[in-house]
C-alpha cells in the first residue's frame, strides 16, 4: 500500500524538502492530490505544513493553473497562516492566481503586514515581491506601497533592502 501524501511529507526538519519533489510530480497530474496538499498548509506538524506549501509553490511555478481552484481557500485562510515557512510560499502562490481587484487588495494588505512584522527576512522578501506585483496593477496599492517600501529599505536587513531596491527599479520609483 502506498503512503499518504501527509506521510510522504513528514520527517526531517522544516528546512529540508524530504520527498516533496516526488509529490510535486504526482500532484501536477492529480486534482484530488492537489486538494489534499492545500489542506495540509495548516497541519499541526510544521514540517508537513512547510512541505505542503513548498509542493504547491513548486507546482505553481511549473503550472500556474494549479493555483486557480484554491484561491478562495488561500484567501479565506490568510490570517491563519502563521508559520513562517508557509508564509514564504503563500505570496509565491498568490501571484499566480487570477485575483479580482478586491481580492488583490486583501492579499496585498496581508503580505505587506507579514513583510513588516514577521521576524523572517524570507517572508519579507517574498511578501514584498508579491505586493509589488499587485501594485503594478493597482495605482492605489502603488501609492500605499511606496512609503512602506522606503521604510523597510531603511530599517530592513540587507536581503530585504536589496529586494526593496529591485522592486523600486521594477516599479520605476525612487527609494
Clarify whether residues 41 and 54 are in a common domain: yes
The Cα 118–Cα 137 span in angstroms is 25
Domain closes at, from 98, 133, 153: 98
Q: How many domains does the chain have?
A: 2
Identify the burial level of 9 via C-beta atoms within 10 angstroms of its C-beta, where 0-12 means exposed, 13-18 middle and 19 or more buried: buried
Can you tell me the mean pLDDT for 105-118? 97
Residue 35 CB: number of other CB atoms within 10 A?
13
Share of the chain above pLDDT 70, in %: 98
Torsion angles phi and psi, residue 38, rounded to 5: -65, -30
What pLDDT does 19 receive? 87
Clarify whether residues 23 and 89 are in a common domain: yes
Clarify whether residues 39 and 26 are in a common domain: yes
Clarify whether residues 13 and 34 are in a common domain: yes
Residue 1, pLDDT > 60, answer: no
Clarify whether residues 139 and 92 are in a common domain: no
Residue 151, pLDDT > 70, answer: yes
Clarify whether residues 119 and 87 are in a common domain: no
Of 167, 172, 170, 140, the C-alpha closest to 156 is 167
Residue 60, pLDDT > 80, answer: yes
Clarify whether residues 115 and 167 are in a common domain: yes
CA 21 to chain CA centroid, nearest Å:
18
Clarify whether residues 75 and 106 are in a common domain: no
The Cα 23–Cα 78 span in angstroms is 24
- Reported confidence tier of residue 2, pLDDT bands at 50, 70, 90: low
What's the residue count for the chain?
175
What pLDDT does 3 receive? 82
Clarify whether residues 108 and 154 are in a common domain: yes
Clarify whether residues 85 and 109 are in a common domain: no
Domain that holds residue 148: 100-175
Domain closes at, from 48, 68, 98: 98
Residue 3 CB: number of other CB atoms within 10 A?
10
What pLDDT does 17 receive? 85
Amino acid at each position: 500500500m502506498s503512503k499518504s501524501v501527509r506521510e510522504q511529507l513528514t520527517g526531517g526538519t522544516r528546512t529540508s524538502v524530504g520527498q516533496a519533489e516526488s509529490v510535486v510530480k504526482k500532484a501536477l497530474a492529480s486534482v484530488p492530490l492537489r486538494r489534499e496538499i492545500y489542506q495540509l498548509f495548516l497541519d499541526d506538524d510544521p514540517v508537513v505544513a512547510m512541505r505542503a506549501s513548498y509542493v504547491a509553490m513548486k507546482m505553481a511555478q511549473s503550472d500556474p493553473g494549479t493555483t486557480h481552484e484554491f484561491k478562495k481557500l488561500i484567501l479565506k485562510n490568510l490570517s491563519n497562516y502563521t508559520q513562517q515557512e508557509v508564509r514564504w510560499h503563500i505570496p509565491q502562490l498568490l501571484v499566480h492566481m487570477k485575483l479580482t481587484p478586491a481580492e488583490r487588495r486583501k492579499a496585498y494588505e496581508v503580505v505587506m503586514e507579514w513583510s513588516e512584522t514577521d521576524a523572517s527576512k524570507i517572508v519579507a522578501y517574498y511578501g514584498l515581491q508579491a505586493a509589488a506585483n499587485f501594485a503594478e496593477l493597482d495605482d492605489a496599492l502603488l501609492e500605499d506601497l511606496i512609503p512602506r517600501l522606503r521604510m523597510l529599505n531603511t530599517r530592513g536587513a540587507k536581503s530585504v533592502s536589496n529586494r526593496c531596491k529591485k522592486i523600486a527599479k521594477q516599479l520605476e520609483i525612487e527609494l
